């Protein structure tokens, strides 16, 4: 997954990073690599923090990129990390993040939901984000609401309806 995401970031880095005068040219590759890792780590953190449903909705194409809390969280996380790691100003870091993340996430969602594109799949992404806890889950059923959320709870917590699975049950009304 990292390699494919890195390619998406590279494909969107021209204006946000490479042609951005606030990013020193000697840091371009490092910022690109860091951005890829930061996107994955931010998504992992959101899943681990109980935002499973929001991340699923975003990656499943059920919510747009504009004013999306998942995307906003990634933008904020990336901005903070590149400010501290590369010494960019807050304005420069925000410029990089805002110019990069929405485009990358939009393309990630499109590729994930395109049956003709095997570079990303929802199951593989969530298996990576959950540390293997979602292995074998049918995410198409989750997105359509045709699944027993107690099964999800047990995958995450080993219990019937607590933790992330319990929250999902409340969000989906089951």
- CB-based contacts of 166, cutoff 8 Å, min separation 6: 153
Confidence (pLDDT) at 127:
87
What does the mean pLDDT of the chain come to? 83
Burial track 107-139 (b if 16+ CB lie within 10 A, e otherwise): bbbebbbeeeeeebbbebbbbbbbeeebeebeb
| Per-residue pLDDT tens digits for 119-145 | 998 888 988 888 888 887 777 767 766
Helix (H) or strand (E) holding 133: none
Confidence (pLDDT) at 32:
97
Centre a 10 Å sphere on the Cβ of residue 4 and count the other Cβ atoms it contains.
16
Is the whole-model pTM more than 0.95? no
Contact 8, 108 (CB under 8 A): yes
Q: What are the tokens at 132?
A: 């293997």
Residue spans of the domains in the chain: they are 2-136, 147-174
């Amino acid at each position: 997954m990292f390699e494919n995401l890195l390619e998406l970031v590279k494909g969107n880095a021209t204006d946000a990073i490479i042609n951005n005068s606030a990013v020193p040219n000697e840091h371009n590759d490092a910022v690109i690599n860091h951005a890829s890792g930061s996107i994955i780590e931010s998504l992992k953190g959101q899943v681990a923090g109980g935002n499973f449903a929001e991340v699923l909705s975003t990656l499943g194409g059920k919510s747009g990129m504009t004013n999306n809390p998942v995307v906003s969280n990634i933008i904020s996380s990336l901005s903070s990390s590149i400010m501290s790691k590369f010494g960019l100003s807050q304005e420069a870091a925000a410029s990089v993040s805002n110019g990069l993340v929405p485009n990358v996430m939009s393309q990630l969602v499109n590729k994930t939901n395109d049956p003709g594109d095997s570079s990303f799949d929802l199951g593989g992404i969530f298996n990576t984000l959950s540390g293997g806890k979602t292995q074998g889950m049918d995410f198409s059923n989750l997105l359509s609401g045709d699944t027993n959320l107690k099964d999800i709870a047990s995958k995450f917590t080993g219990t019937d309806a607590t933790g992330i699975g319990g929250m999902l049950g409340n969000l989906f009304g089951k």
